[in-house]
Structures are given as structure tokens and as C-alpha cells.
């Protein structure tokens, strides 16, 4: 618990701002957020029963909590079943090998449907892949645009036009292109994974691109002059002066990009049927059982929480890497 509170950004902020204020301020920094959450839960509890849908009332916090436990239980059960399935095959293989040592044996993976927890990991994998792809495209491109004003002028209209495009618009195009170009008998990745990932990349690379270009273009002119006086070769100049100088801006862009990537992913998964959280929400919606709304609400909270954690992780990396904090 103590490690949890010491990484709390709010607490840190308060400690840094008012290093001599302790007891009261710290107490407040714990009690006020708790109070906020409590008030929210109460309001939710009061309002939920008033909202009637064809699938019953809007879920209350208690319903959601119950379904969260349920989803966890389902995951445990599936895991047990998968373990037993593999164990069974291993035993059978051992028997076959005992009879005939040259026999070819293999273990089939458990064919059960992915659970909520599996879907969270699929989503994380997809978003990180898309974000990684966006980063390795946007940072070098941003550096080039920031360094060369002709290049910047040429790229600007394209950036401005594609930046506001919604993932829902890209998705059909990406789907068709992926189906046409990504053909292989034994694909390493599912098509739905590639489609979701590429959509995430297309939507999330812009903030990083723009911030990198801005950061590079804004490098203190004195530092650029130092580099000129030293006659640093282009690559040394880019690596030793421009890139480090732009790091704070690049990271600000990366954080915004990751936020967008996570938001876009859910929509992309719904449509591309990538087996992640987006598909979970979609399937529950199609299912229309009395628990569906509660289960969707669990997903909503999970999505929000994971998004928050991703942002915190980026912030931690930023603090490690950037020189200005």
C-alpha cells in the first residue's frame, strides 16, 4: 500500500509544491479522491434503476462488481480446462511413445473461446504493436520534416488532412487492402489483428509526427549554431543535437498518440472482429442477455483503467529519458 501511495501523482505533486505541508494536505489528498469516487458511486446507484432498457435496468455498481467476479471465475475455469486438455494429450503422447518411440506426436492448443482476460491481453498486444509501428514511422519522419522546411511545407497539407480522420473511415479500406495483400497459407498473425493494428497506426501517428517536427524545428538556434561551428556531420547533428533537444516534445506527442491508439483500438476491434476488448463489447451487445450491460460496463471500466495505466507508464519513461524534468 505504501508503494502505491508514493507513486500517486497527486501526492507527489503536493509533496513537491508544498514540501513543508504534510499531515493535513496529505490526508486531504487521500480523502478527497475517495470522497469523489464515493459520491460518483452513490449517484450511479441512484440513477441506474431509473434507466430502463430492453435488456433490463441499467446496471448498478453492485451488478458490475458481481459480473467482474463472474468474468474472472470464467477465466479461471477455462484455464483449468485448458490445463487438463493439455495434460490429457501429454499422457496420451507418452503412451504412444512408449509403444512406438518413433511416433510423431503433437499437442493441440485448447480450442475454447477466449475469456475476458485473454481479450484484454489481445487488446494490449494489438495496441502496442500499432503504437510501436506508429512511433517508428512518425519519429524519423518528424525529424526529417522538422529539419527541412521544404519537406515541411510539402508534408503539411497531407498531415492536416489525414490527422482528423476517424478510425471508422479507415477501417473498411484497411480491411480490403489487408485481405488483398496479406495472403499466406500459414499466417503468423490473424488478418483481424493486422487490420486493427494498421488502423491504430494510421490514427495515432499524427500527434507524434507533429510534435517531433515541432520539437525539431524549435531547437534552440544557439545549439544549432554550436553544431555548425563544430562542423558536425549531418547524422551526428541529428543524433547528438536535434534528437535529444526534441525528446521532451516527442514524448509529449507519444503520450497523446498512445491515448488515441487505445481509444481507436476498441472501435477497430469491434469492426474488424479482432478478439480483444472491442470484440467483447460487440459480442455482449449482440448477445443481449440480462447480464450483458453489466459485462459491458466492466469492460468500460477496464478500458478506462488500462488507458490510465498506459499513460502513467509513458510518463514514467518520459521522466527517465527527458532532461527537462
Contacting residues toward another protein, per CB under 8 A: 160, 207, 210-211, 214-215, 218, 220, 222-223, 225-226, 228-232, 236, 240-241, 244-245, 247-249, 252-253, 256, 322-324
What are residue 57's DSSP bridge partners?
A: 52
What are residue 52's DSSP bridge partners?
A: 57
CA separation for the pair 195, 175 (Å, rounded): 6
Q: What is the 3-state secondary structure (H, E, C) of 207-268?
A: HHHHHHHHHHHCCCHHHHHHHHHCCCCHHHHHHHHHHHHHHHHHHHHHHHHHHHHHHHHHHH
Q: Which is nearer to another protein, 25 or 247 (CB)?
A: 247
Q: Which is nearer to another protein, 223 or 313 (CB)?
A: 223
Let me know: does 268 contact 278? Beta carbons within 8 Å: yes
56: left (phi over 0), alpha (psi -120 to 50) or beta: left
Spell out the residues 6+ positions from residue 113 whose beta carbon is closer than 8 angstroms to its own.
78
Q: Which is nearer to another protein, 253 or 278 (CB)?
A: 253
CA separation for the pair 221, 213 (Å, rounded): 15
Q: Which is nearer to another protein, 145 or 270 (CB)?
A: 145
Helix (H, G, I), strand (E, B) or coil at 119: helix
Output the smallest distance, CB 162 to another protein, in A.
13
Q: Which is nearer to another protein, 186 or 324 (CB)?
A: 324
Output the smallest distance, CB 209 to another protein, in A.
10
Q: Which is nearer to another protein, 131 or 280 (CB)?
A: 131
Q: Which is nearer to another protein, 4 or 229 (CB)?
A: 229
Q: What is the 3-state secondary structure (H, E, C) of 22-33?
A: CHHHHHHHHHHH
Output the smallest distance, CB 269 to another protein, in A.
25
Amino acid at each position: 500500500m505504501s508503494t502505491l501511495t508514493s507513486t500517486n501523482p497527486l501526492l507527489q505533486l503536493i509533496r513537491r509544491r508544498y514540501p513543508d505541508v504534510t499531515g493535513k494536505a496529505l490526508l486531504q489528498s487521500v480523502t478527497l479522491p475517495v470522497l469523489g469516487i464515493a459520491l460518483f458511486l452513490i449517484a450511479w446507484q441512484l440513477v441506474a434503476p431509473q434507466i430502463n432498457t430492453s435488456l433490463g435496468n441499467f446496471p448498478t455498481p453492485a451488478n458490475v462488481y458481481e459480473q467482474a467476479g463472474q468474468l474472472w471465475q470464467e477465466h479461471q475455469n477455462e484455464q483449468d480446462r485448458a490445463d487438463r486438455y493439455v495434460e490429457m494429450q501429454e499422457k496420451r503422447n507418452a503412451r504412444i511413445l512408449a509403444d512406438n518411440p518413433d511416433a510423431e506426436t503433437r499437442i493441440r492448443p485448447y480450442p475454447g473461446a477466449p475469456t475476458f482476460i485473454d481479450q484484454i491481453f489481445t487488446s494490449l498486444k494489438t495496441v502496442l504493436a500499432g503504437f510501436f509501428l506508429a512511433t517508428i514511422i512518425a519519429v524519423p519522419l518528424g525529424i526529417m520534416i522538422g529539419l527541412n522546411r521544404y519537406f515541411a511545407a510539402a508534408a503539411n497539407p497531407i498531415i492536416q488532412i489525414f490527422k482528423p480522420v476517424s478510425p471508422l473511415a479507415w477501417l473498411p479500406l484497411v480491411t480490403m487492402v489487408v485481405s488483398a495483400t496479406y495472403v499466406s497459407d500459414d499466417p503468423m498473425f490473424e488478418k483481424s489483428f493486422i487490420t486493427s493494428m494498421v488502423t491504430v497506426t494510421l490514427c495515432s501517428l499524427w500527434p507524434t509526427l507533429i510534435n517531433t517536427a515541432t520539437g525539431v524545428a524549435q531547437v534552440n538556434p544557439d545549439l544549432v549554431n554550436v553544431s555548425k561551428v563544430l562542423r558536425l556531420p549531418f547524422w551526428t547533428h541529428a543524433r547528438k543535437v536535434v534528437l535529444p533537444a526534441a525528446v521532451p516534445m516527442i514524448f509529449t506527442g507519444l503520450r497523446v498518440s498512445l491515448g488515441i491508439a487505445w481509444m481507436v483500438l476498441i472501435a477497430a476491434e469491434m469492426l474488424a472482429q479482432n478478439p480483444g476488448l472491442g470484440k467483447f463489447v460487440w459480442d455482449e451487445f449482440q448477445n443481449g442477455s440480462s447480464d450483458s450491460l453489466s459485462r459491458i460496463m466492466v469492460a468500460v471500466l477496464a478500458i478506462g483503467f488500462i488507458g490510465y495505466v498506459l499513460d502513467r507508464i509513458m510518463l514514467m519513461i518520459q521522466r527517465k529519458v527527458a532532461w527537462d524534468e
